[in-house]
Amino acid sequence: MDFKLQHTDLQSKARAGIITTDHGVIETPIFMPVGTAGSVKAVHATELEDDIEAQIILGNTYHLYLRPGLDTLQQAGGLHRFNSWRKPILTDSGGFQVFSLAENRKLTEEGAEFRSHIDGSKHFFTPEKVIDIQRIIGADIMMAFDECTPGDAPYDYAKQSLELTERWLDRCLTRFRETECPHGYRQTLFPIVQGCVYPDLRKQAAENVASKGADGNAIGGLSVGESTEEMYEMIDIVNEILPEDKPRYLMGVGTPANMLEAIDRGVDMFDCIMPTRNGRNGQLFTKNGIMNMRNQKWKNDFSPIEEDGASFVDTRYSKAYLRHLFNTGEILALQIASIHNLAFYLWLVKEARRQILQNNFPAWKASMIDTIMRRL
């Protein structure tokens, strides 16, 4: 994977760049739709490519390992061929999912033993196994195995957890160097900066990650219970240390405002389930604010969902019709809302990139945040 930093806004740390992988080019800043089990919920590949204009999607090692399983993925030739997605894919290591199973997992120096949320069967992830799994999945960008501590973790626990994550990182890197992609193209591995909300731990983690010389680096363990102010503080600390000539990926964040604030602090890549999950529950993000499509106020509003929206669904369907679909339990409601929200998120980062290249990002960001986060 190659990264070219094209421009940094003259008034902030916001950056525009280009990532090149064997499955295509990614213009940053970028948002990655989440396809946890190999599918972005309620959206098929043609919509992702042609309407939403997604440049990269995310899959999850834990879920893909359980279903469909490694044998199927191996025989299919990797996830790209299995789900017919021709552009880049990033996989989370599964660390967040494993460690969210607090009552069903056991952590040791060797790795994590856990029980499947599907059938209760017992499994064991080591750093080496997680690399092997991601090799078979065939993601262009792989994540190191880490422990994601909650935002309110005590200092001593966060410190021990970070030290274990750092030891696991060394094992991940060793295994990565010893292996290659079985599907005939290049893959890369991102380390993950942990450290909870403690500045000294975040600094230690960022310095260790930066020393590894990886093609890109991730920031994990945020938006997991800490305050927004603490999240932004940790991003500031970490990005002062992570190398400028490598992409920075903020994992699992977040709202449109979160993304714009993080871009302002030098972050390049994002993923979050919010646009699809909230969309399936009737919440739409728009350039003018947030709409709850179940509200009575939309019952007889026959205007387009969003007159200058980023997707064809915005002008094809009315607010009244979409509300009707939600209130009658029609599956089409979930599809329309998911497509709309994903297209909005991709439009937002694309517009952010345009503003960065024009050295106008801070002023644009300030005006956008006030608008897009208000309730309509």
Domain-ending residue, one of 248, 271, 294? 271
In this structure, the answer to whether residues 360 and 289 fall within a common structural domain is yes
In this structure, the answer to whether residues 212 and 93 fall within a common structural domain is yes
Q: How far is the C-alpha of 185 from the C-alpha of 182, rounded, in Å?
A: 8
> Per the structure, how many domains does the chain have?
2
Q: Which two tokens stand for residue 361?
A: 């990002």
Neighbours of 167 (CB within 10 A): 12
Cα 170–Cα 116–Cα 144 angle in degrees, nearest 5: 15
Task: Say if residue 292's pLDDT is above 90.
Answer: yes
- The three-state secondary structure class of 294 is coil
271 is annotated as an active-site residue: yes
Taking all residues of the chain, what is their mean pLDDT, rounded to a whole number?
96
In this structure, the answer to whether residues 220 and 166 fall within a common structural domain is yes
In this structure, the answer to whether residues 44 and 157 fall within a common structural domain is yes
Task: Say if residue 221's pLDDT is above 80.
Answer: yes
Task: Say if residue 104's pLDDT is above 90.
Answer: no
Residue 329's pLDDT band (cuts 50, 70, 90):
very high
What do you get for the CA distance between the two ends of the chain, in Å? 42
Domain-ending residue, one of 243, 271, 299? 271
Catalytic one of 9, 92, 140, 146: 92
Q: How far is the C-alpha of 110 from the C-alpha of 137, rounded, in Å?
A: 23
Q: What is the pLDDT of residue 167?
A: 98
Nearest Cα to Cα of residue 350 among 238, 247, 263, 250: 263
Residue 233's pLDDT band (cuts 50, 70, 90):
very high
Residues of the domain holding 12: 2-271
- One-letter identity of residue 69: G
CA 28 to chain centre: 13
Task: Say if residue 98's pLDDT is above 90.
Answer: no
Task: Say if residue 338's pLDDT is above 90.
Answer: yes
Max CA pair span of the chain: 62
119 is annotated as an active-site residue: no
In this structure, the answer to whether residues 137 and 265 fall within a common structural domain is yes
Total count of residues recorded for the chain: 376
In this structure, the answer to whether residues 303 and 333 fall within a common structural domain is yes
Cα 181–Cα 186–Cα 192 angle in degrees, nearest 5: 90
Which DSSP letter does residue 103 get?
Answer: G
Q: What are 90's strand-pairing partners?
A: 58, 141
Task: Say if residue 363's pLDDT is above 80.
Answer: yes
Stretch 341-348: mean pLDDT: 98
Catalytic one of 9, 140, 146, 271: 271
Single pTM value for the model: 0.97
In this structure, the answer to whether residues 45 and 139 fall within a common structural domain is yes
DSSP for 136-205 reads HHT-SEEE-------TT--HHHHHHHHHHHHHHHHHHHHHHHH---TTSS--EEE-EE--TT-HHHHHHH
Q: What is the pLDDT of residue 191?
A: 98
In this structure, the answer to whether residues 259 and 291 fall within a common structural domain is no
In this structure, the answer to whether residues 202 and 291 fall within a common structural domain is no
CATH number at residue 220: 3.20.20.105
Pairing of strands 30-32, 57-60: unpaired
Sequence-distant (≥ 6) Cβ neighbours of residue 230 within 8 angstroms: 151, 197
Nearest Cα to Cα of residue 20 among 7, 38, 2: 2
- The three-state secondary structure class of 29 is coil
In this structure, the answer to whether residues 186 and 116 fall within a common structural domain is yes
In the chain, which residue ranges form alpha helices assigned H by DSSP? 45-46, 61-66, 70-76, 79-83, 95-100, 127-137, 155-178, 199-210, 228-239, 256-264, 274-280, 312-316, 319-327, 331-357, 361-372
Residue 301's pLDDT band (cuts 50, 70, 90):
very high
Q: Which two tokens stand for residue 261?
A: 């604030």
In this structure, the answer to whether residues 246 and 341 fall within a common structural domain is no
In this structure, the answer to whether residues 256 and 314 fall within a common structural domain is no
Pairing of strands 15-21, 24-28: antiparallel
Residue 289's pLDDT band (cuts 50, 70, 90):
very high
Domain-ending residue, one of 253, 271, 289? 271
- Judged by average pLDDT, the poorest of 97-106, 168-177, 243-252 is 97-106
